[in-house]
Amino acid sequence: MPSKPSNMKSYEEEVKTFSWDISKKELEYKDGDIINIGWYCSDRICEKGKAEKLALIWESSKGEEKRYTFNDLRLITNTMASYLKNLGVNQGDRVCLFMDKIPELYMGFLGVLKLGAIAQPLFSAFGSESLLTRLEDATTTAIMTQKKHLPKVRNILEKMPYLKYIIVVDDDGSKALREREFALNIETEPKIEKFDCFPSTAETKSVLHYTSGTTGKPKGAQHVHYSLISQYITAKYVLDLQEDDVYWCTADPGWVTGTSYGIIGVWANGVTQCVTDIGFTADNWYKFAEKNKVTVWYSAPTAIRSLMKEGTAAVKKHDLSSLRHLASVGEPLNAEAVIWSQEAFGMMFHDTFWQTETGSIMVSNYPGMKIKPGSMGKPFPGITATVLDLKTSEPITKKGIVGMIAFQPNWPSIIRTYWNNEEIYKSKFKNGWYLSGDRASIDEEGYYWFVGRDDDVINTAGHLVGPFEIESALLEHPAVAESAVVGKPDPVNMEVVKAFIALKPGYDQNKMLELEIMNFVRKKLSALAMPQEIEFVDSLPKTRSGKIMRRVLRAKEWGEEIGDISTLENDM
Ligand code: 6R9
Q: What is the pTM of this model?
A: 0.86
Residue 185: which of 113, 275, 94, 103 has the closest Cα?
103
Structural domain ending residue among the three candidates 439, 471, 488: 439
Give the span between the Cα atoms of 526 and 182, in whole angstroms. Answer: 61
Q: Indicate if 404 and 532 belong to the same structural domain.
A: no
Instruction: From residue 322, give the alpha-carbon distance in Å to each of 3, 245, 250, 296, 338.
Output: 10, 10, 17, 9, 19
Assess whether 104 and 29 both reside in one domain: yes
DSSP state string for 137-184: HHT-SEEEE-GGGHHHHHHHGGG-TT--EEEETT--SSS---TTEEE-
Distance CA 564, CA 562 (A): 7
Contact 377, 448 (CB under 8 A): yes
Domain total in the chain: 2
The whole domain housing 387 covers 11-439
Is residue 238 a part of any domain in this protein? yes
Q: How far is CA 470 from CA 335, 473, 517, 526, in A?
A: 12, 5, 11, 10
Whether 354 lines ligand 1, by a CB cut-off of 6 Å, is yes
Kindly give the residue spans of alpha helices, DSSP state H, lying in 33-168: 37-41, 43-45, 70-87, 103-115, 128-138, 150-156
Q: Mutation test of ligand 1: which of 438, 447, 471 has the most ligand atoms closer than 8 Å to its C-beta?
A: 438
DSSP 281: -
Closest ligand 1 atom to Cα of 436: 25
The CATH number linked to 516 is 3.30.300.30
- Mutation test residue for ligand 1: of 122, 331, 404, the one with most atoms within 8 Å of CB: 331
Are residues 259 and 344 both part of a single domain?
Answer: yes
Picking from 395, 412, 439, the residue at the C-terminal end of a domain is: 439
Q: Is the CB of 302 under 6 A from ligand 1?
A: no
In a domain, 65, yes or no: yes
Cα 26 to averaged position of ligand 1 atoms, centre (Å): 28
Residue nearest ligand 1's atom 16 by CA: 332
Is 381 part of any domain?
A: yes
471 Cβ closer than 6 Å to some ligand 1 atom? no
CA distance 234 to 14: 12
> Relative to the CA of 255, which ligand 1 atom is closest?
20
The Cα–Cα gap between 320 and 318 comes to 6
The answer to whether the CB of 469 is under 6 A from ligand 1 is no
95 and 66 share one domain: yes
Closest CA to ligand 1's atom 17:
353
Interval between CA 25 and ligand 1 midpoint (Å): 30
User: Which residue's CA is the closest to the ligand 1 atom numbered 24?
Assistant: 453
Q: Do the domain assignments include residue 451?
A: no
Domain assignment of residue 15, yes or no = yes
Q: Are 133 and 159 in contact (CB under 8 A)?
A: no
Task: List the alpha helices (DSSP H) in 355-488.
Answer: 422-426, 467-475
| 453 Cα to the center of ligand 1, angstroms | 9
Q: Tell me which residue has its CA closest to atom 15 in ligand 1.
A: 331
Task: Determine the pLDDT at residue 372.
Answer: 97
- DSSP symbol at 278: P
475 and 387 both lie in a single domain: no
Same domain, 471 and 414: no
**Amino acid symbol at 371:** I
487 in the same domain as 414: no
Q: 108 with 145: CB under 8 angstroms?
A: no
How far is residue 375 CA from its own chain's centroid?
A: 18
* Residues 345 and 315: beta-carbon distance below 8 Å: yes
CA-based radius of gyration for the chain: 23
Going by C-alpha positions, the residue among 411, 312, 393 that lies closest to residue 357 is 411
Q: Mind listing the pLDDT tens digit of every residue in the chain (572 residues)?
A: 447 899 999 999 999 999 999 999 999 999 999 999 999 999 999 999 999 999 999 999 888 999 999 999 999 999 999 999 999 999 999 999 999 999 999 999 999 999 999 999 998 887 787 788 889 999 999 999 999 999 999 999 999 999 999 999 999 888 899 999 999 999 999 999 999 999 999 999 999 998 864 444 678 999 999 999 999 999 999 999 999 999 999 999 998 999 999 999 999 999 999 999 888 889 999 999 999 999 999 998 878 988 998 899 999 999 999 999 999 998 888 899 999 999 999 999 999 999 999 999 999 999 999 999 999 999 999 999 999 999 999 999 999 999 999 999 999 999 999 999 999 999 999 999 999 999 999 999 999 999 877 767 676 765 656 788 789 889 989 999 999 999 998 876 767 899 999 999 999 999 999 999 999 988 887 777 899 999 999 999 888 777 788 888 988 888 877 766 666 665 33
Q: Which of 295, 292, 119, 140 shows the shortest CA–CA distance to 208?
A: 119
Chain length of the chain = 572
In this structure, the answer to whether residues 421 and 545 fall within a common structural domain is no
Q: Could you tell me which of 196, 195, 172 has the C-alpha nearest to residue 183?
A: 172
Task: Kindly state whether residue 41 falls inside one of the protein's structural domains.
Answer: yes
Q: Is-contact 230 412, C-beta < 8 A? A: yes
Residue 317 belongs to some domain of the structure: yes
Contact (CB, 8 A) for 382 and 14: no
Contact 142, 166 (CB under 8 A): yes
Count of C-beta atoms within a 10 Å radius of residue 217 = 15
Domain boundary among 439, 473, 508: 439
Task: Answer yes or no: do 274 and 196 share one domain.
Answer: yes
Alpha carbon distances (Å) from 536 to 224, 264, 530: 45, 42, 16
567 domain residue, yes or no:
no
Provide the CATH number for the domain around residue 373.
3.40.50.12780
Q: What is the pLDDT at residue 567?
A: 62
- The H-or-E segment that residue 52 falls in is none
Q: Are residues 407 and 285 in the same domain?
A: yes
Say yes or no: 421 and 479 in one domain. Answer: no
Spacing, Cα 355 to ligand 1 middle (Å): 5
Same domain, 248 and 170: yes
CA distance 34 to 468: 44
